Amino acid sequence: MAKLTSPRVSVSFTELGISAITRGDKGTVALVVRDGAVQAPFAITQASQVPAVLGKDTQDYIKRTFLGYVTPPKKVIVYVMAPDQAAPAAEGEAPAAGGITEALDYMAAQVFDYICGPADCTAAEAAEIASWVKSQRLNNAAKYKAVLPNHRADNYAIVNFTGDAMTDGTTIWATAEYCSRIAGLLAGTPMKISATYAPLPELSDCARLTKEESDKAVGDGELALRWDGRKVKLDRAVTSLVTTSQGMLDSFKKIKIVEIMDLMRTDITATAEDEYVGKYANSYDNKMLLAAAIRGYLMGLEQSSLIQPGYTVDLDMEAQEQYLAARGVDTAAMSEKELREADTGSHVFLLVRCKILDAIEDVIIKVEI
C-alpha cells in the first residue's frame, strides 16, 4: 500500500499545458555580495537605502540593480559575505563556512525572481548558484532564476551573461560586475515586452561583436551586449538553454516566455494551496469550478496581451484514465460521462492548452521601388 504524503500541488509545465489561477507579480532581485563590513542581510526598495558602511564597489554593484529598464526592480535583497568566504576552488571540496552555501540557505527562505553572485563571482560560485536554482525549482516549485557570468548552464532558469568591457568612458566593468545591472533590467521589464534590444544608456561602449559573433552567442545561449553604432543595448534576450527536448522546445530559450511561465506556475500553486486544497469535496462539479477559475485567470492574461485567445481548460482525461486503471478500474467498460465523473480520490487532473505571446523581435521589411 502506498504511503500517504503531504497534500501537494503538482503543476506540469510544458508548451502544451500551463496551469494558473491568479495574477502574480515580479520585480525582486537577490544579490550575494562580498564585503569587509559586517552587515546582516537586508532588503531595500531604492538605491539611496544602500548602507554607507559597505565598500564603494559593493555599494555601486547594488545600486546598478536599481537602474532597471521600463521600471526599476521593486526590491533588492542583499546577503553580505566576508571577503574570505569564497566558494571552493575545486569541485567536490567542502564549501567555506559562511560562504555561498550559507548565503543560498538564507535566500531559500526569501521570495525573489533573479539572483546574482558577488561582483567578483568565481566559476565555482556560479556553478553552485546554478545548481541551487535548479534544485529549488525542481524540489520546491520555486520561481528563482539566476544571472551568472560566463556560465554555460544549458538551462532555461539560468541566464548566461557574457557582456564584457562595459564602460561609461571612465570606468570599465568586467562581466561579473555587471550581472546585478542585468538582473535589475530583467526584473524591471514588463511581461508584455521583451528585454531584447533594451538600451543601457549609462554605457558609452562595450566589447564589440561582429554580426557572426553575435549570432553565435545567441545560438549558444548567451545574453550578450551589442553596439549598434549609437548605443549599447542587450542582444536577443535568451536563457542559457541550448539543448531542447520533448516538452521543452525553443520557447524555453526566451526570457520573456519563461517569465510568463513562472508567473502562471506560481500563481496556480499558491492559489490552489490557499483556496482549494483541503477546502472542497473532490466532486465533478468542484473540479469544473476549478477549471472555470483557471479560465477566468487566462482571460485576464489574454486581456493583458500575455497569451493568445483560443485557450482551453478541461479534465485531463488521459491522466484520469491512467489513474483509474492503475487502481484496477476497468475503464474500457466505462462511458465517457462515467470516466469524466469518476471518483479520483484526492486527485484533480486538468489539462490547460494556451499559447504565450512572444514579443516582436524579428522585423523583415521588403521595400520595392
Q: Residue 278's pLDDT is what?
A: 87
Q: Residue 279's pLDDT is what?
A: 85
Residue 309 C-alpha cell reads as 485567445
* Average pLDDT score over residue span 41-64: 97
Residues 64-73: tens digit of each pLDDT: 999 999 999 9
Q: Residue 363's pLDDT is what?
A: 67
Residues 322-368: tens digit of each pLDDT: 999 999 999 999 999 999 999 999 999 999 888 888 876 666 777 77
Q: Residue 159's pLDDT is what?
A: 98
Q: Residue 10's pLDDT is what?
A: 42
Q: Residue 108's pLDDT is what?
A: 97
Mean pLDDT of the chain: 87
Q: Residue 243's pLDDT is what?
A: 94
Write 165-168 long-range contacts (CB < 8 A, 24+): 165/205, 165/206, 165/207, 166/200, 166/203, 166/205, 166/206, 166/225, 166/232, 167/203, 167/204, 167/205, 167/206, 168/202, 168/203, 168/204
Whether residue 297 has pLDDT greater than 90: no
More confident residue, 54 or 192: 54
- Choice among 162-166, 203-207, 284-288, 314-318 with the minimum mean pLDDT: 284-288
Whether residue 104 has pLDDT greater than 90: yes
Q: Residue 95's pLDDT is what?
A: 43
